[in-house]
Amino acid sequence: MARDAPPRWDRRMQQRLARGEAAALGELYDRFAALVHSQAYRVLGDEEAADQVTREVFGYIWENPDAYDPKQGSMRSWVARLTNSQAVHRLRQSEAAALTEGDGGTTEELEQKVRRAAVAARADYIVTSMPAPLRDALELAYFQRRDYRQTAADLGVTEDEARRRLRLGLQLLSTANPRALEDFSPPDYGRTL
């Protein structure tokens, strides 16, 4: 299971990128490309579009390393936030183009599809950004179908601690609820990275 990078690594990576070290971009890409691509694909449902978003995100990071603020969270969560923003923006553009051409249904259907994608992107971002102990517990419970006792044994923690981690993780995920986004309008609407 994925572990959070230490904050010191995040600061050093930002400094290396700011100095223009191509090797730093390669290291960052190796660490986060799978995350970026999978999140973009989850939103867009298109391999080629996910590839394009991946290139755009890493291009943005290369050109704007100072946009990352370590005080606001880990580099992993920043990269995930950039990915989700760009993927939802690209979905909105492609759906609007299909609507203009008469292939995409109604405006309401377009907005509903974008809302669903935004909720999925938000859920991915929440999971990516949560502390590793919570994420690990949720991954065991969800992907491996472990109950809290099995999760506790797998993680080497008490049953009470496993329950606490699962409860906190689920509470964080509940904020991605589509009802919370009924009046959703994305920040910087129409703006790309």
Q: In the prediction, which pLDDT does 179 show?
A: 54
Q: Of 187, 52, 171, nearest to 118 (Cα)?
A: 187
Q: What gap in Å lies between CA 176 and CA 123, rounded to an integer? A: 5
Q: In the prediction, which pLDDT does 6 show?
A: 54
pLDDT tens digit string along 79-89?
988 998 899 88
- The count of other CB atoms within 10 Å of the CB of residue 158 is 10
Instruction: Kindly report whether the global pTM for this prediction surpasses the value 0.85.
Output: no
Q: What percent of the chain has pLDDT over 70?
A: 86
Q: In the prediction, which pLDDT does 105 show?
A: 66
pLDDT tens digit string along 96-115?
777 777 665 677 777 777 77
Stretch 35-44: mean pLDDT, rounded? 88
Q: In the prediction, which pLDDT does 51 show?
A: 94
Helix (H) or strand (E) holding 77: helix 75-100
What secondary structure letter does DSSP report for 4?
P
The answer to whether the beta carbons of residues 147 and 141 sit under 8 Å apart is yes
Stretch 48-68: mean pLDDT, rounded? 93
* Residue of 169 and 57 predicted with greater confidence: 57
Q: What gap in Å lies between CA 110 and CA 74, rounded to an integer? A: 33
* Residue of 4 and 165 predicted with greater confidence: 165
**Band of the pLDDT at 188, cuts 50, 70, 90?**
very low
**Mean per-residue pLDDT of the chain:** 81
